[in-house]
């Protein structure tokens, strides 16, 4: 079992729709959870972090964490073509090491 | 510096030569990561430093790859006897020692091309 798992996609959503990106992790003691966005040819950039169970909203982005289910998700409301990118889930485990998933490619269509 | 700095930004080398890639992390960041990313692929973990020690070097693909970190700051990734399959973007990231601020910040990467 991979430490952090994501569906590779591509996930295709029409402009204006909600994009839902999901991630599961194996280390039950994990404490910190992050979402990164990576445009083609660029380095990953941090867009959201969440530490507590529940929802955290930042503009059009909402991160959701369920530690009991070992599940973290990212919702993007009113998706725009500029949101088309690969989204990487990252988790800090009990050894304080940050581990990345392989990413989900999102395509927002006109 | 304000961000993670990597050098060189591009490197073209002949097969069989050795190369050194440098990463200068954000000041005060004790954790440092090296990743490799081939075209269209995900991040491939190589090695993780906490201070000058490397508690996890499980991602280094062969003994041709090595990395060191000195003074808890700059890190160098060395690839000996480069092969064409080593061609990729090598990314470095660093993160804070604060327990609740472990997000990593990435450099712009070194694009390595082995010809």
Return the exposure string of B59-82: e unless at least 16 CB atoms fall within 10 Å of the residue's CB, then b: bbeeeebebebeebbebebebeeb
Q: Is B52 on the interface with A (CB under 8 A)?
A: no
In angstroms, the CA A93 to CA A91 distance is: 6
Of B31, B42, B91, the CB nearest to A103: B42
Residue B25 DSSP code: P
Q: Give residue-wise pLDDT tens across range A30-69.
A: 989 999 999 999 999 999 999 999 999 999 999 999 999 9
pLDDT attached to residue B100 = 67
pLDDT attached to residue A93 = 85
pLDDT attached to residue B98 = 73
Q: How many Cβ atoms from other residues are within 10 Å of residue B47's Cβ? A: 22
Q: B56 has which bridge partners?
A: B48
pLDDT attached to residue B99 = 67
Sign of CA pseudo-dihedral A109, A46, A99, B111:
positive
Q: Is B79 on the interface with A (CB under 8 A)?
A: no
CB B96 within 8 A of CB B102: yes
Q: Is B71 on the interface with A (CB under 8 A)?
A: no
Q: Is B7 on the interface with A (CB under 8 A)?
A: no
Is there a contact between A97 and B109 if contact means CB atoms under 8 Å apart? no
pLDDT attached to residue B96 = 86
Is there a contact between B50 and A96 if contact means CB atoms under 8 Å apart? yes
Q: Is B48 on the interface with A (CB under 8 A)?
A: yes
Sign of CA pseudo-dihedral B51, B52, B57, B61:
positive
Sign of CA pseudo-dihedral B110, B76, B94, B44:
positive
pLDDT attached to residue A49 = 93
Residue B103: closest C-alpha in chain A:
A34
Rg of chain A on CA atoms, in Å = 13
pLDDT attached to residue B40 = 84
CB A104 within 8 A of CB A7: yes
Chain A partners of B109 at a C-beta cutoff of 8 Å? 43
Residue A6: closest C-alpha in chain B:
B42
Contacting residues for B111 by C-beta, under 8 A, at least 6 apart: B9, B10, B11, B88, B89
pLDDT attached to residue A102 = 92
Per-residue pLDDT tens digits of chain B, which is 115 residues long: 589 999 999 999 999 999 999 999 999 899 999 999 998 888 999 999 999 999 999 999 999 999 999 988 999 999 999 999 999 999 999 998 776 678 899 999 999 999 9
């Amino acid at each position: 079992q991979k430490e952090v798992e994501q569906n590779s996609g591509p996930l295709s959503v029409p402009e204006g729709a909600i994009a839902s990106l999901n991630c599961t992790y194996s280390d039950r003691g994990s404490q910190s959870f992050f979402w990164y966005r990576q445009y083609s040819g660029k380095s990953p950039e941090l867009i959201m972090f969440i530490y507590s169970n529940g929802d955290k909203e930042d503009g059009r982005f909402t991160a959701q964490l369920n530690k009991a289910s070992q599940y973290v998700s990212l919702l993007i409301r009113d998706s725009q073509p500029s949101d088309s990118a690969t989204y990487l889930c990252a988790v800090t485990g009990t050894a304080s090491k940050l581990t990345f998933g392989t990413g989900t490619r999102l395509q927002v269509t006109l | 510096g304000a961000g993670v700095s990597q050098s060189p930004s591009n490197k073209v080398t002949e097969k069989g030569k050795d190369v050194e890639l440098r990463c200068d992390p954000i000041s005060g960041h004790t954790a440092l990561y090296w990743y490799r990313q081939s075209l269209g692929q995900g991040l491939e973990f190589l090695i993780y430093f906490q201070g000058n020690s490397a508690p996890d070097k499980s991602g280094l693909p062969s003994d041709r790859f090595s990395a060191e970190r000195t003074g808890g700051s700059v890190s160098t990734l060395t690839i000996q006897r480069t092969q064409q399959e080593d061609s990729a973007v090598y990314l470095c990231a660093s993160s804070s020692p604060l327990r609740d601020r472990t997000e990593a910040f990435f450099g712009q990467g070194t694009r390595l091309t082995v010809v």
